[in-house]
Structure 1
């Protein structure tokens, strides 16, 4: 769910699925999340800001944390202990969008607690930033696709070394 939200924007193709109400409705439906029947421009702006805060979190930069904490406060997301023992996350759910954001935040919190959040990353290529799940044993992957973004990075580094050697 978190990965699919972050990947609604594809920088390499200059595509953003969340620029229209239909795009937001399509993403929410695909993620099995509630959504306002008629999303407003303010809803779209809120979800896009939320998405970019998640992208920053997955990229290892703290810039998105205040926005995510703001959404936690705004939606009233909090853990509730259940018999079992089991923990569930609830929110004040004032709107359908609040409910959707609460569920995404619950997934982030749960993944942080079980350790799987460290495997959800964004591609290190600045022109990509695609969210991917790092399945490497040591959690050291840097690119969404080594054969694409990794190869481009390595080729740029090679050419830079060649150019530096030619001028020396």
Structure 2
């Protein structure tokens, strides 16, 4: 499987339908890695097409055909910020109610997104959030703590303690900054003591 927005940052993909939420979060621009995929309809359309194809494979269902136009982009960027708030601190208070359907398929009741266009995508994202919370995997979806990165990653650490998408890159940068800051503070204290 290939999730366009997440793959461009070379991140481990979240399991099942939660990967759609992760990929949606990773549509934002991060220095030197690519453009904001929700900044322009010509960037958003291919992302939506590919993301829904991957989601359909993960959910073993037909690929929904939705259209996202220029008029939808502002609302999608706002929705992305709601998800950032939800992942960061558990708050998505600005979210409006969404609709989803219960579908009986092969003797199993499933929660399934509904609506058209942007509303369908919104429904799919919130549906996957609910399912991930119920499955106990939601808390493993995180945003890298390094300012300037903030990529959405799936934490596979045993105790769910990851804070950077990659310890060797973002972790080293953050630790180096903290070390320099401590050294600077120490030098300032010594200068004041003299």
Distance 1:10 1:90 in 2: 27
- Secondary structure of 1:54 counterpart: helix
What is the CA deviation profile of residues 130-166 of structure 1, one whole-angstrom value per residue up to 9, with x for unaligned ones? 0000000000000011111111110011111111222
Instruction: Kindly indicate whether the alpha-carbon contact (under 8 Å) linking 2:100 and 2:111 is maintained by their aligned counterparts in 1.
Output: no
- Secondary structure of 1:132 counterpart: strand
Instruction: Kindly indicate whether the alpha-carbon contact (under 8 Å) linking 2:27 and 2:38 is maintained by their aligned counterparts in 1.
Output: yes
Size of the aligned set, in residue pairs, is 157
Distance 1:129 1:105 in 2: 21
Residue 69 of structure 2 is aligned with which of 39, 42, 47? 39
Residue 149 of structure 2 is aligned with which of 109, 116, 128? 128
Residue 7 of structure 1 is aligned with which of 10, 17, 26? 26
Other-structure match for 2:109: 86
TM-score of the pair, normalised by structure 2: 0.73
The Cα shift of 1:86 comes to 3.0
The Cα shift of 1:60 comes to 2.4
1:108 equivalent in alignment to 2:138: no
Instruction: Kindly indicate whether the alpha-carbon contact (under 8 Å) linking 1:3 and 1:131 is maintained by their aligned counterparts in 2.
Output: yes
- Secondary structure of 1:100 counterpart: helix
The Cα shift of 1:61 comes to 4.5
- Secondary structure of 1:55 counterpart: helix
Which contiguous aligned blocks of 4+ residues in structure 1 show a shift greater than 6 angstroms?
none
- Secondary structure of 2:111 counterpart: strand
Gaps of 5+ in 2: 1-19, 53-63
1:76 equivalent in alignment to 2:99: yes
Distance 1:52 1:11 in 2: 15
TM-score of the pair, normalised by structure 1: 0.83
Gaps of 5+ in 1: none
